[in-house]
Structure 1
Amino acid sequence: MNITNKTVLVTGGGSGIGYATAKLLIEKGNKVIISGRNEEKLAKAANELGAAYIACDVTDATAVNNLIAKLEADYNDLSVLINNAGVGFVYKLGEGANAVDKARQEFETNYFAPVRLIEALLPLLKKQPEAAIVNLTSNVAFHPLVVLPTYSDAKTALHSHSVALRLTLSTDTNIKIFEVMPSLINTDATKDMGGEQHGLPPEVAAEDIYNGITEDRYDIFVGEAAQQYADYFADPKAAIAKFNQGLY
């Protein structure tokens, strides 16, 4: 897919992978709108990037409706949606873990929010000569990490949704569905996970996302995720044990 002179929405674009991806897409000649909950942070990032911004909590249905109305009014050539916004809790399952409340927050941001946004934007995306939806899942989408248990659940759900959506839209639309599966990336959100010590720079993920879209690679692996994926399908039990070594 040609991703030049496109209008792109990046959720969670104020920092991390979203920011790096927005920056690269602008450098490649695209018009980018970033969204996020913190308007002050978002405005600062947009000014640095030369991007537009729309403050929006993607877990709030009313806020999403307002976002859609703004996009339809001011950016009716929008052709790429990048669902990057996410949240995760580092903990272990067990007595007193409060897993339900943590899972609810993770699913609201990591699963229900992109599902809602995709459905709401389909009419606009269908109007474009070519369009794409890019869902950021994770290497935990194909095998769980025990210290990110319900985050793994939510990303697995978005992975499944992405596959079903790709098959469904391939029959009667020009919308391509890409799934990005990063390994650990160094962002503000991954500090509790060792991101500063062991994570890849977000610019690496941005490059892989851009190259994956231009090459029509619907499964985009970042960092160690490609080898982890291959290991999992070669020997699931061994791969999961290796992935979680020393954590349980």
Structure 2
Amino acid sequence: MKTTGNTIFISGGSAGIGLAIAKKFNAAGNKIIINGRDEARLQNALKVLDNAIAIQGDLSLQADRISIAKQLKSNHPDVNIIINNAGAAFINDLSDNNNNSAEKAYQEINTNYISVIDFTALTLPLLLQQKEAAIVNVSSIAVFRSNKYLPTYSASKAALHSYTQGLRDTFSENESLNVYELYPPLVNTEFSAEIGGANGIPPSEVADELFAALAKDQFEVPVGDTKKIHALVEHATATL
């Protein structure tokens, strides 16, 4: 797929992985539209991007999803890449009866999974009008193995992984639409600070890997330590 001359919508694009992706593709000559909940953070992000656009809104809310999809159709009908990057994560101690585990899980599932399905459905008609289009779902190394700190976050990303595979199969015969899955490991961002993100890779490495993958139509995009696990899973699947 071409890596320049695209119009790219990035949810969660005001910081972290989303902003790193925005910078990488912006520098390569793409029109960037970033989305986030916080208007001030969006405006700060625009200062480091060239002629980018921001659309404020919370994609975990159905009304905002509908509004943003309408804005894209009306004001940016050339959008041909959607990067579903916005996410929610909570340390969730399942042994603590006062932890409100179910509420945390609900928010993660809603933001990381249900919202992606709905927003993708809302924007698919626009993407299918383009000569070349892509959907990029940002999952995680956590799809392959959960842990005691992020059990419900991992489950939400595993659900997103399964959905992404099904979406790719659904449009496998459509030569104009590609479906990518980006699997970051631990990344040094504010989002992951609570779980030791300072020990993670820089978000720019994730952006670089995605950029390279689009250039060679590599639909599965493991990054860093995820590459080892992904290779093992791919090998095991191939031998079934």
What's the TM-score once normalised by structure 2's chain length? 0.94
Take 1:122 and 1:131, find their aligned partners in 2: how far apart are those partners?
Answer: 10
Tell me, which stretches of 5 or more residues in structure 1 are unaligned?
A: 236-248
The one-letter amino acid of 1:154's match is S
Structure 2 partner of 1:205: 206
Runs of 4+ in 1 over 3 A off after TM superposition: 230-235
Match of residue 141, structure 1, among 131, 140, 143: 143
Q: Show CA shifts across 1:112-136 (max 9, x none).
A: 1111110000000000001000000
Take 1:190 and 1:162, find their aligned partners in 2: how far apart are those partners?
Answer: 23
Instruction: Specify which structure has the higher proportion of helix.
Output: 1
The one-letter amino acid of 2:164's match is S
Q: Show CA shifts across 1:177-236 (max 9, x none).
A: 00001110000011111111x10000000000111111111110111001123356779x
Take 2:106 and 2:67, find their aligned partners in 1: how far apart are those partners?
Answer: 23
Take 2:193 and 2:225, find their aligned partners in 1: how far apart are those partners?
Answer: 18
The one-letter amino acid of 1:170's match is S
Take 1:146 and 1:137, find their aligned partners in 2: how far apart are those partners?
Answer: 18
Q: How does 1:103-182 map to 2 (within 5 A)?
A: 103-172=105-174, 174-182=176-184
Take 1:87 and 1:151, find their aligned partners in 2: how far apart are those partners?
Answer: 8
Structure 2 partner of 1:16: 16
Take 1:234 and 1:217, find their aligned partners in 2: how far apart are those partners?
Answer: 17
Tell me, which stretches of 5 or more residues in structure 2 are unaligned?
A: none
Take 2:188 and 2:60, find their aligned partners in 1: how far apart are those partners?
Answer: 24
Q: How does 1:1-248 map to 2 (within 5 A)?
A: 1-50=1-50, 51-96=52-97, 97-172=99-174, 174-196=176-198, 198-231=199-232
Q: Show CA shifts across 1:130-163 (max 9, x none).
A: 1000000001112212211000000000000000
The one-letter amino acid of 1:225's match is T
Bigger mean CA deviation after superposition, 175-184 or 138-147: 138-147
Take 1:210 and 1:107, find their aligned partners in 2: how far apart are those partners?
Answer: 27
SS at match of 2:221: strand
SS at match of 2:130: coil
What's the TM-score once normalised by structure 1's chain length? 0.91
Count of aligned positions: 234
SS at match of 2:113: helix
SS at match of 1:188: coil
SS at match of 2:194: helix
Take 2:71 and 2:130, find their aligned partners in 1: how far apart are those partners?
Answer: 17
Take 1:55 and 1:42, find their aligned partners in 2: how far apart are those partners?
Answer: 8
Q: Show CA shifts across 1:5-62 (max 9, x none).
A: 0000000000000000000101110000000100111111123212100001001111
Take 1:173 and 1:57, find their aligned partners in 2: how far apart are those partners?
Answer: 31
Take 1:48 and 1:36, find their aligned partners in 2: how far apart are those partners?
Answer: 16
> Over aligned residue pairs, what C-alpha RMSD do you find?
1.4
SS at match of 2:205: helix
Taking only the aligned residue pairs, the percentage that are identical comes to: 36
Take 2:227 and 2:23, find their aligned partners in 1: how far apart are those partners?
Answer: 25
